[in-house]
Amino acid sequence: MHLGSRKAAVLPWVAALAVMVLWASSFVVIRGVGVHFSAGSMALLRLVVASVALAIGAVIYRPRWPRTAAAWGWILLWGVSWFGVYTVVLNLAEHHIDAGTTAMLVNVAPLLVALASGVLLGEGLPARLFVGIGVSMAGIVVITLATTTGQLTMAGVVLSLIAAVLYAGSVLLQKWRLTGGDSYAVTLIGIVGAMVACTPFSGDLADDLPAAPPGSVLAVVYLGLFPTALAFNFWGYALKNIPAGVLSSSSLVVPALVVLLSWIALAEVPPLLAVVGGALCLTGAGFSIVPHIRAALRRPEPVLEPEPSLTR
């Protein structure tokens, strides 16, 4: 394989890794600023920041916009569901249940994606993928047991499971209908649609913003710029080139990354049990995705037909 082909094969996986690191960082940031913003106001400010940043980028990048009303409709449905409803539901869940248990329940989503994409999108149901997901989910359970505060309500459990269904449905919809378009345009339209849908929380944001410390405001700005605007563009690019079930299974490394980032950024020394759980997450995810990375790197160079001679 030529260097250019090897680079093209590995870039989607580099993008996927960047997404996982950025999403993991968002859990760490939200933990610190959640006391200063309500679920709706944090989501709205995050979406406003992301919308402004992507709109500025669109002036330079000049993305290809959808050409049909149906395409716009699918994108808006996807954006409102994932960036809007999912984010608010997840924030609400963490008001009723601790973050570790929420993460455990929400991470049912990769299993749902793997099952549905295998049946509905023709990706198949490889045993290796499901074994890897099972090992990673066992790791998430171990991390949860090590970090849980015991805060648990039925409302929190229900909201977390709703978030998992929204996550899975959004990934499947994006893979099914949206990967053929310009991922920058898709992300921008989806985020702006979600921002508009979240405008009922404007009053909450007007109350929370003046009272929040500058550091917390900057933290939400970070959430809008990096785990939202940048990460979802990387996600869209990766999803074009990687099966939905496999890519979603890679998100099972996020709990392990959260443990690591909390240790580095917040000086929160993880319990030994959490370290064991993180190792299981990484092992399971690696078992699922490493063969796909190797296969992409071994993919043969396409044979090109010689161009006809102009002298004949």
State residue 127's pLDDT score.
84
Any domain includes 43: yes
User: Is 52 part of any domain?
Assistant: yes
On whether residue 311 sits in a domain, the answer given is: no
Token pair of 304, please?
Answer: 């090109």
Mapped onto helix, strand or coil, the DSSP state of residue 2 is coil
Span 57-107, pLDDT tens digits: 999 989 999 999 999 999 999 999 999 999 888 878 877 776 667 777 787
Q: Looking at the chain, list the stretches that DSSP marks H as alpha helix, in order from N- to C-terminal side.
A: 3-33, 39-61, 69-79, 87-96, 99-106, 109-120, 127-147, 154-173, 183-197, 202-211, 214-223, 231-241, 244-250, 254-266, 272-298
d(C-alpha 147, C-alpha 140), whole Å: 10
Domain count, the chain: 1
In whole angstroms, what is the distance from residue 47 CA to residue 223 CA? 9
Amino acid at 90: L
- Which of 282, 11, 18, 286 lies closest to 129, judged by CA? 286
Longest CA pairwise span in the chain (Å): 80
Residue 4 contacts by C-beta under 8 Å, 6 or more apart in sequence?
none
Write out pLDDT tens, residues 158-167.
Answer: 888 899 899 9
**What pTM value is reported for the model?**
0.84
Domain contains 306: no
Does the residue 304 lie in any domain? Answer: no
Range of the domain at 87: 3-298
Mean pLDDT of the chain: 84
More reliable by pLDDT, 94 or 112: 112
Do 137 and 107 form a contact (C-beta atoms < 8 A)? yes
What's residue 24's pLDDT? Answer: 86
CA distance 144 to 101: 6
Task: Identify the top-confidence range among 66-75, 130-139, 149-158, 246-255.
Answer: 66-75
Residue 164 lies in a domain: yes
In the chain, the percentage of residues whose pLDDT exceeds 70 is: 88
Distance CA 287, CA 297 (A): 17
Write phi, then psi, for 50 (nearest 5 degrees): -65, -40
The answer for residues whose C-beta is within 8 angstroms of residue 44's C-beta and 6 or more apart is: 195, 198, 199, 201, 202, 204, 205
3-state secondary structure of 10: helix
- The answer for residues whose C-beta is within 8 angstroms of residue 65's C-beta and 6 or more apart is 182, 185
